[in-house]
Amino acid sequence: MPKPKPKTVDEYIAASPARLRPTLNRPRKVIRAAAPKATEVIGYGMAGYKYKGKPVVYFAHWKDHVALYGSFVNEYAQELKAFTLLKGTVRFPPEKPPSDRLLTKIIKSRVAAIDAGE
């Protein structure tokens, strides 16, 4: 019998492998602090945050990595160069996530862009 798909970010994290939960809870804490008015969503099978109905960031776990997804990747490519960058994706090993400082900067920038109508 297949596992039910998570309907909340809590369920998404709880259903993830135990070794990845701290890595997933970390960006969640940073995102909530940097964008307290953003709402948690599940979209595309991933945990995510929307602000004023627009996506801020999504994150997901995979077998060998954790990834952040969003329109910010190109803008922050230089600061994210230590990670694997793909179109709209930042992949990183669970034990070496982007810094809280950088994630806060990205999230606040994305919220400001949404406020500016971008």
What does the pLDDT look like over 102-115, one tens digit per residue?
999 999 999 999 99
- pTM of the model as a whole: 0.90
| Mean pLDDT on 91-109 | 95
Q: Are 73 and 80 in contact (CB under 8 A)?
A: yes
Q: What are phi and psi of 42, to 5 degrees?
A: -115, 125
**Burial annotation 74-88 (CB, 10 A radius, 16+ → b, else e):** eebeeebeebeeeee
Half-sphere exposure of 15 (CA within 13 A, CB side): 17
What does the pLDDT look like over 34-50, one tens digit per residue?
999 999 999 989 999 99
